Structure 1
């Protein structure tokens, strides 16, 4: 049984081994760095987007509570009830073709998302335009011509500039400005065309609101206190047969949230796949390092070094190096939200709340640590159980590929713990189950295939070509890297294809 003095001795041996630097551990550190970077980056990015969505929820929804109706507007009774709860802003939107006013019969046209807004719009957030001025002044009649503000795509597709006159149904509008940012556009996850904003009066004058027309009326409430869920429940109970959709800001963009959650889970599994493939590199790095130290280990055993002390010494060394590589990966992963917000803010559905999030960093650190221990144990236990008598023969057997019986239980325990962590952190039991099952199946398939190739290499009868005989013998010989190479290539390519397929699906 190990005492405190044995632990101190193991730490001293570990410190002495580390004085030589990290030479020979490049693959080990690189694999661990990339694996922890992938998991921490995905987790931090997901948290930043999630917090950004929660922070800007009212601006994204455009209200504390939103009530929407399809193909009809609220009745007088319904509208009066909504106004009794809080100030209300009404918007109307539909899809329509817009034309450039021209005498030519061949007029350019484009499908657009037409939206009519009242004087209270926007309730939350800011509508950014390419020129100064009040939105409602720009939409008001000037020289008997109502105004409109449009997305740049409208002008580009029609080949016109600001000031052009467009025909919308039975009326015409003049383009007065270009929309740079619309606060509540994120909530409309699916769009068939660029936006045109007009006043609600102009919207009615287009003649597009008719019995049977497909349009949507939205009523946005701004509450004085944080009682959005209560008010939403009151609206549903007051008119249960109204057929309207009632949402509060805590459910501002469910489609975006679902996409972000699925993206986070999928990319986390991609990061785990990268870490597992990196685990093969970790195992190879540990095996190569310890293979070069076997004579040294045998000599220490001859001088009285116990298996327990040597095991602890080299395990401490692997853990110290895993902390070094893992911390570098965590630091890089923690910076990803700031980098993404700086370079890709215009392409993201919400503005991120960049910050340092502990949960994904702890998750990545645990995955990295458990993966390091799981893949380091087999070669480590094989190395410290080497027979010291080999040093007197002038040769110490360096085959660390076989898993010793003593390593079966702790190694299996580490992989079971790793599988449990996948279920814990993934948040989707079915997806985690498929990931774990696929990993186990791939492991068994390629391990069996590698051993079959080794057996076939030994079963081939002697051939007349010396180079072929030597090559086949090297595949079949004890300690051959052929088994590890086939397994690593097969498992790595499988993970690569899985990553590509996930990216294509996303």
Structure 2
């Protein structure tokens, strides 16, 4: 009862004190609102997209179930099973070369061939709108097709014009506006060419070993629930254990999209949490300044017999109420984001048109906001609680009193640990979240040490003749200096931006600079065994200085490791790509020239024993494989189990022909397959490449040619778009830094006014004071920028070299831009805040000293 009575009284006093308004707390509330809004909004948008993928799964998949086979069609028994489930729409996907009728130009296309039932769900949109037969059927000597505007632009065509695909003439009868299942089909490097199965069959592109995906989409009878979907998948696995098909349901219509959205939302959540941590510095500044202004009230409370606990409770309630206002504002911002995203992303991603409210995402954001407030508010509140009334009456304020009692430090540290634990727990990739949180904590601690180091150096600096510089150095280390707040807030924001900028710069340098120098000029896919020698002869004539490497290639899916089905295994996230979908595989008598054995021995050229496989060393280590373990791969509907004979280091960054798995030649005896080749010619000009591309396409219309430069250009554009989005998101942390910087200046205004008035009274001019304050902010900003470069460079090196396996370099232009940004922010905002200070009259201030 006594505790409840004390709490009610504390609440009453808190509300009375708040009648004077929220002056001094607007930066506090803005910092909390910004971080809470970022976290709540990002997670709400991610859940909106996830819900859209789940609820609109039938339309996105254009089916209830999707069965995919590589390099072969379903056999009669498999087709009978599929037909027993419901309506079956068959399609086929492959890459090929589309060329003009006169052979003067060509381009890579993503061919998608469909039957008359397509699409089972959703709607195919073309301009003009045509029926299936009018769009695809053979009319005279040409089959019909639809293509997006990009293909028309690349080849200078218009609807009604004709192209050659393989050995068949194709009439482009309409512009392709949208496919209902485009998202579920995944990303393509080339424009779509939508045609009929009969048209694709007539082109002659489908040959034994061709890289073609055969897809069977099923529309189940009405009323089929989730249990029916699970039962069908289990039945398919039981009845056809060696089929090797990939099965996807309407509940998992776009796994790549869902996975990427989860990763991106996790990153942005951590960025939002960083913004909250930065904002926490602003919370601490605001609380300290507020309590400093309330010193007479606190002294009065204590003189009238109020306990330290009562004082603590009064102001904790106030801080909680003010934080609540900021949290509510942030939640309102976060709740609006899905509605804004639905308008912006409606044509790109399957976001619900009506947006939505996601209490779970908003609840996590509110919890993070409250915990950050408590972490940074408890210690200054604890310091005020334990200051005696006599000290409050006698001295300027509650700052500079040393550390609060250990209990407040312990509570604050405990909440901080709980916050870090929750951030990791709520993340999908907890390892990366732990690294991010750990790096943020380390950066926070190091920045505090940097601030102390700057103060120490300023305190130990020799006597300087320049008055402004001497005043600046004194301001840096005096009690109540801005140094800790500025270094902490600006340092975290700049470090994050420097890290992202260096990662982006290194990736772009690799894509546009380093990779083209070592990568081959061309990849040639689907070279038939009967054509491979003639193909090699043509390339030798057209590019006599070029180096042609050719290898046999099949597609296979890893189904088991050491006889354990991969579906029943817990796979580390970093190795998941190896088991996700089909992989290119090959066989060879000798070790590939662009790889190095790290363990084990290569088989003899005439080896005829049990199937052996050479596995990529890094990927094998991530999967926990060892020499002698077995890998089961499904190739063309047949399971092949091979023993790991050796591991080899693969240089993926070279973009040369590389495979996770290279088998002994006897493993695929008699299996139909095509060949893959690369051509490297460092001296080839764009004209030489165009001439070779044209010659290959004319002579071998079924061979797919990929110019590496074109693929790198696509990747570079994607990296640029992603980097822009990430930097824009990371700017939230920098905005929080600017807010905290503004708050720190506002919190220190009273002391600044006092200093300025005393100095002006002693004869200092406005010019001298401006120079002193400018030098102070300049020195703090420069030191912070140097730290941001060092910490950001180290973090970027770790990500680029250790995580991505690429060469990392320090980029001077990033260093310069970071330093300029730090100086503009610190000096600019410092002078804006100081200008008002210098305008105060001396007499009113001196009377109150």
TM-score w.r.t. structure 1 length?
Answer: 0.93
Contact 1:52-1:352 at 8 Å conserved across structures = no
- Give the drift of 1:73: 1.4
**Which residue number in structure 2 is paired with residue 454 of structure 1?**
455
**Which residue number in structure 2 is paired with residue 15 of structure 1?**
15
Task: Say whether residues 1:486 and 2:483 are aligned partners.
Answer: no
- How do 1:106-185 and structure 2 match up within 5 A? 107-185=104-182
Aligned residue for 1:327, secondary structure, equals helix
Quickly say closer, same or farther: Cα 1:416–1:392, change in 2 above 3 A: closer
Quickly say closer, same or farther: Cα 1:379–1:189, change in 2 above 3 A: same
Contact 1:139-1:147 at 8 Å conserved across structures = yes
**Which residue number in structure 1 is paired with residue 828 of structure 2?**
none
Quickly say closer, same or farther: Cα 1:310–1:160, change in 2 above 3 A: same
Instruction: Tell which deviates more after alignment, 317-326 or 422-431.
Output: 422-431
**Which residue number in structure 2 is paired with residue 73 of structure 1?**
73
Aligned residue for 1:186, secondary structure, equals helix
**Which residue number in structure 2 is paired with residue 47 of structure 1?**
47
- Give the drift of 1:350: 5.7
Segments of 4+ moved more than 6 angstroms: none
Instruction: Tell which deviates more after alignment, 202-211 or 40-49.
Output: 202-211
Instruction: Tell which deviates more after alignment, 143-152 or 255-264.
Output: 143-152
How far apart, CA to CA, are the structure 2 residues paired with 1:44 and 1:499?
24
Quickly say closer, same or farther: Cα 1:352–1:46, change in 2 above 3 A: farther
- Give the drift of 1:400: 5.2
How far apart, CA to CA, are the structure 2 residues paired with 1:268 and 1:290?
32
Instruction: Tell which deviates more after alignment, 278-287 or 79-88.
Output: 79-88
**Which residue number in structure 1 is paired with residue 811 of structure 2?**
none
Instruction: Tell which deviates more after alignment, 185-194 or 330-339.
Output: 185-194
Structure 2 residues not aligned, in runs of 5+: 505-721, 727-849
**Which residue number in structure 1 is paired with residue 251 of structure 2?**
250
Contact 2:92-2:197 at 8 Å conserved across structures = yes
Contact 2:44-2:334 at 8 Å conserved across structures = yes
Contact 1:337-1:352 at 8 Å conserved across structures = no
How far apart, CA to CA, are the structure 1 residues paired with 2:324 and 2:359?
16
How far apart, CA to CA, are the structure 2 residues paired with 1:270 and 1:498?
12
**Which residue number in structure 2 is paired with residue 418 of structure 1?**
419
Task: Say whether residues 1:203 and 2:189 are aligned partners.
Answer: no
Quickly say closer, same or farther: Cα 1:192–1:499, change in 2 above 3 A: closer
**Which residue number in structure 1 is paired with residue 339 of structure 2?**
338
Greater RCO, CA 8 A, separation 6+: 1
Aligned residue for 1:335, secondary structure, equals helix
**Which residue number in structure 2 is paired with residue 259 of structure 1?**
260
Superposed CA offset, 1:305-346 (max 9, x none): 221222111111111111111111101111111101112222
Instruction: Tell which deviates more after alignment, 181-190 or 397-406.
Output: 397-406
How far apart, CA to CA, are the structure 2 residues paired with 1:101 and 1:361?
58
Superposed CA offset, 1:273-303 (max 9, x none): 1111111111111111211211221122222
How far apart, CA to CA, are the structure 2 residues paired with 1:480 and 1:201?
78
How far apart, CA to CA, are the structure 1 residues paired with 2:212 and 2:85?
25
Task: Say whether residues 1:314 and 2:315 are aligned partners.
Answer: yes
How far apart, CA to CA, are the structure 2 residues paired with 1:79 and 1:143?
32
Aligned residue for 1:17, secondary structure, equals helix
Aligned residue for 2:174, secondary structure, equals strand
Aligned residue for 1:345, secondary structure, equals coil
Superposed CA offset, 1:25-63 (max 9, x none): 121011011010100011101110110010122222222
How far apart, CA to CA, are the structure 2 residues paired with 1:468 and 1:211?
80
Superposed CA offset, 1:92-138 (max 9, x none): 22111112334xx5x23221111211111111211111223323332
Superposed CA offset, 1:70-110 (max 9, x none): 222122232223212322111122111112334xx5x2322
Contact 2:345-2:351 at 8 Å conserved across structures = no
Instruction: Tell which deviates more after alignment, 265-274 or 226-235.
Output: 226-235
Superposed CA offset, 1:144-177 (max 9, x none): 5321111121111111111111212221122221
How far apart, CA to CA, are the structure 2 residues paired with 1:376 and 1:142?
77
Aligned residues: 502
Contact 1:65-1:232 at 8 Å conserved across structures = no
How far apart, CA to CA, are the structure 1 residues paired with 2:231 and 2:259?
24
Superposed CA offset, 1:349-369 (max 9, x none): 665772101100100000001
Contact 1:291-1:398 at 8 Å conserved across structures = yes
- How do 1:86-97 and structure 2 match up within 5 A? 86-97=86-97
Aligned residue for 1:187, secondary structure, equals helix
**Which residue number in structure 2 is paired with residue 390 of structure 1?**
391
How far apart, CA to CA, are the structure 2 residues paired with 1:36 and 1:374?
15
How far apart, CA to CA, are the structure 2 residues paired with 1:495 and 1:386?
38
Contact 1:426-1:432 at 8 Å conserved across structures = yes
Instruction: Tell which deviates more after alignment, 172-181 or 249-258.
Output: 249-258
How far apart, CA to CA, are the structure 2 residues paired with 1:84 and 1:486?
68
How far apart, CA to CA, are the structure 1 residues paired with 2:115 and 2:400?
75
